[in-house]
Amino acid sequence: MSIVVVGTVAFDTVETPFGKGENVLGGSATYFSTSASFFADVSLVAVVGEDFPEEHVAFLQNRAIDTSGLQRIPGKTFHWSGRYGYDLNEAQTLDTQLNVLMDFKPELPESYRDAEYLFLANIDPDLQMEVLQQVRKPKLVACDTMNFWISSKPEALKKVLQNVDIVIINEGEARQFTGEANLVKAARQIIALGCKRLVVKRGEYGVLMFTAETVFAAPAFPMEEVFDPTGAGDTFAGGFMGYLANTGDLSEEGLRQAIIFGSVMASFNVEDFSLNRMKRLEFKEIQSRFSSFKALTSFRDVSV
């Protein structure tokens, strides 16, 4: 099954305690589509400037990602700069240059509008709603957001959350959006808006998935080497949605399985800067780490 992702394709300049990457390939749609492409067909909608190298487009196309929706317009490509300390769970933003993103009007090619799976990556919630109005009968719609939109466009974001099936955000954003310190209570408030599920990314502490009745927790895979966590959340979302699109299994068990595959993909992404690790990743490595993940969380019942 195919997935359409609408988000950003960007340049990142990232500094961590372990090195620095300057003007490297980044963006929410880039990380998502690369990860999801290991499981399903992906079509990408984003905008870049005249300075965006063809080699980056070729990389996406070599992953069999449909770039018909990648717009190239006059100007410079979106550029984000950030720094991580030894606490790699959150970046300090140093600079954000929106550039051509300021003029981005997502227009889905006709061939994208019947997609069964849609992911609205981190962009203006007004644009997310415009995209929702362009798809016909999606089987599953999920979205992401960030603290900037929570503070600047809360009502527009609320409207998006009321019209999607799954919301994928980090725990700080869940607390910020609801004003609720307790994460469980915050999750209940978001689900009450109308979405069916909330997936909360917690960095090195794993993932929580909430419905109105259930909670599922999965740890993060323990890593000896973490070089760059940039894009880990989008890589997680790509693995999560990619697995669902591959299997079509939207049961509780299928969604829990997808959480683990998303976590596996994120664990690879953090092993190098930008998408360098994803570029050399092979599917057999994904299978092997999934097995290791299963062993990590496996235990038997005990009679007391």
Name the DSSP letter for residue 274: T
Q: What distances in angstroms separate CA 262 from CA 4, 163, 234, 265, one per listed residue?
A: 17, 23, 9, 5
Q: φ and ψ at 19, to 5 degrees?
A: 150, -170
pLDDT of residue 203: 86
pLDDT of residue 141: 98
CATH superfamily of 2-295: Ribokinase (3.40.1190.20)
Sequence-distant contacts of 103-107: CB under 8 A, at least 24 apart: 103/47, 103/73, 103/75, 104/46, 104/47, 104/71, 105/130, 106/6, 106/45, 106/69, 106/130, 106/131, 106/134, 107/45, 107/69, 107/71, 107/134
Q: Of all helices (H) and strands (E), which one includes residue 14?
A: strand 10-16
pLDDT of residue 287: 97
pTM of the model: 0.95
Beta-ladder partners of 10: 26
pLDDT of residue 297: 85
Beta-ladder partners of 92: 83
pLDDT of residue 262: 97
pLDDT of residue 87: 75
pLDDT of residue 225: 81
- The set of catalytic residues is 234
The encoded tokens of residue 42 equal 């992906």
Q: Mark out the alpha helices in 163-279 (DSSP H runs).
A: 171-178, 183-192, 232-247, 252-269, 276-279
Q: Is the dihedral of CA 65, 221, 16, 18 positive or negative?
A: negative
Q: Which residue has the tokens 């999607």?
A: 164
Residue type, 145: T
Burial class (CB in 10 A: 0-12, 13-18, 19+), 217: middle
Reading the chain (304 residues) residue by residue, the pLDDT tens digits are 689 999 999 999 999 998 899 999 999 999 999 999 999 999 999 999 999 999 999 999 999 999 999 999 999 999 999 999 887 777 888 999 999 999 999 999 999 999 999 999 999 999 999 999 999 999 999 999 988 899 999 999 999 999 999 999 999 999 999 999 999 999 999 999 999 999 999 988 999 999 999 999 999 999 888 889 999 999 999 999 999 999 999 999 999 999 999 999 999 999 999 999 999 999 999 999 999 998 988 888 887 7
In the chain, how many H helices and how many E strands? 11, 13
Q: φ and ψ at 97, to 5 degrees?
A: -115, 100
The encoded tokens of residue 161 equal 């959350």
Rounded CA separation 70/109 (Å): 10
Q: What distances in angstroms separate CA 72 from CA 26, 193, 239, 263, 299, one per listed residue?
A: 16, 36, 27, 32, 51
Rounded CA separation 14/17 (Å): 10
